[in-house]
Amino acid sequence: YDLLKSKQPNEEIKYHSGYREKFDAILNAGEKSYNELANAGFSVEKVDNVSAKQLREIMILSKTTFAKSWGFTDLSEKEFLGIYSQEKIDSSSRLYLLQKGVEIIGFSNIIIENNETFIFKTICVLSEYFGLGFGNALAYKVHYDAKHEGIRKIIYALVRESNNIKNFPKDDAVIFRKYSSFEFELK
């Protein structure tokens, strides 16, 4: 870290990974957003049977939202559908869709580690909905379901320090690793 930092990178992007075993703070922070959005006609639902059409929409949403993010890899449709197939969602992960009517405007991907642990892997919301509580609503629904299913721990993998989710409490999470990526202009 010190060596790379001393080379004066153009940008340093910070991340952390952590976990939480008590969900009350996150539920308290997100419940209002979740209820307000539900009252405005939006929904957050766990999807048990994802269609090929929905998967394609999620792929486009991911590309639109993450294309300018450091480390983004543009996957072909075949590669994307291999990662987010119905079989994977049934056995090793869980998908939550944030919708305005039938339009998908965001999603969350959860990896099922075991009967007591989830890994909160991805949260994605279209940029025109940033700052309106949609990320909080997604986080609320994931944690609400986890608590009611007896999940004891949620791990947050590679959370960008500049994450846009308002009120996403960090103080009650145990941070177990910090990361930095550096961007240099090569001459």
Higher pLDDT, 116 or 70: 116
Which DSSP category does 21 fall into? Answer: S
Higher pLDDT, 102 or 161: 102
Residue count (the chain): 187
Band the pLDDT of 55: cuts 50, 70, 90: confident
Band the pLDDT of 167: cuts 50, 70, 90: very low
List C-alpha distances in Å: 77 to 29, 57, 162.
36, 11, 29
Q: How does pLDDT run across 7-51, given as a tens digit for each residue?
A: 999 989 888 889 999 999 889 888 998 999 999 999 999 988 888
CB 12 within 8 A of CB 187: no
Determine the Cα–Cα distance for residues 59 and 50; give it in Å rounded to an integer. 13
**58 pLDDT above the threshold of 60:** yes
Higher pLDDT, 94 or 144: 144
CB 98 within 8 A of CB 44: yes
Determine the Cα–Cα distance for residues 88 and 19; give it in Å rounded to an integer. 23
Dihedral class, residue 54 (left if φ above 0, else alpha if ψ from -120 to 50, else beta): alpha
What local confidence, expressed as pLDDT, does residue 90 receive? 65
Chain centroid offset of residue 21 CA: 18
CB 183 within 8 A of CB 13: yes
What local confidence, expressed as pLDDT, does residue 46 receive? 92
Band the pLDDT of 110: cuts 50, 70, 90: very high
- H/E element holding 165? none
**DSSP track, 73-119:** ----HHHHHHHS-HHHHHHTEEEEEEEETTEEEEEEEEEEEETTEEE
List C-alpha distances in Å: 28 to 35, 140, 141.
12, 8, 12
For 154, counting Cβ atoms within 10 Å of its Cβ (0-12 exposed, 13-18 middle, 19+ buried), the class is buried
